[in-house]
Structure 1
């Protein structure tokens, strides 16, 4: 991870001037992508309600969501397919979702509008800074990290999101009994995740010892189109679920 100072970037075309926009890159590479007309419209219609501004200081979840409920942090939701599904099947939980990619944020906003979802708030900001500067210790009930970039080449492994320092930060911000749920379709990364997370003393593995410590896919996590395609080709998917002790 690089240490960049947050800065406000040039707002892409199609996003209204009054919608929050911050460009910052710390834990992953910001890849180019074109925002569709539908996604731009979703920024306009649903951004004011569901997008939050990054602001160092204690995050007031009750004010952001308009209610008190268990708080789940999601780091990197891609196009938001799984995020929207989980929020729908778990309406009693609040989901704070971090993603820097413009098209992905627009896609999730579009799903929020189409599916009438009310328990998602999005921070278009680097998750590491959100964790460091907005989330207090023992403030989270869960963390979801699904299919982070595996950085296949050995020389790039240091760029992987799941590292000891981040896992420790997340563990400290989980309430006792709270959980960390990661999933990947790249077995070498799954092995590294298992090694790194297992070494964190604040977390206990809930997986199956007979399956290498990996957990069965929880019912709330759906199979995405990408994942289904991979499974049909014989690719594996590994879920890791750890609890704060």
Structure 2
């Protein structure tokens, strides 16, 4: 199964980029974040024209929104919690009926958290911390198996997941309260599949701000997008790539897709 995760930053706006992406890498499953489209307006025809007959999504107008697009049959998960008491379309899950056996896929868009890393004065940061805590508690009681967890977590946990560790320790996405919570979430039964291929001592980014006019020259990136798997899938991890060149495509997202092959590809 070839899986892609991507914060597309508006599905309807970047449907042509999704088409180009799919023609380039031929994924079986695509997990999107920030689709920014209510369910009634989801472009089903355009997505199905790309070969994805099986869809599961939650969306709202203007922001948030997650979607799983699959060439393989899927069964939607219908009992996922309402995180932080808000149905703000940040999580969708399904069982993918892959040739090598069923795989549960969870697609998350974690709150960004605003600019001030103080939950006492910034409700957005408080929301982010509480969201990760709730998700951690839920997964701790699940004992997940044959599970892939992907998405834009809006947290770069490791020193070399950011362009300057010391400088970003007080910047939302790399602060200790966030990274410590993300590590506890991962410890509920997951392995960092991207770092399975790229050692923690090597730089690894998936996001570059729109504010950087020459993003390649400055390379002030962060790894905000993640793929985790349960240990039983680690032997099946075949390859991983971060599609950095897509940051140069016309009207790009500020995130680039991550591609993961699970099992040997045909």
More helix per residue:
1
- For normalisation by structure 1, the TM-score amounts to 0.31
- For normalisation by structure 2, the TM-score amounts to 0.29
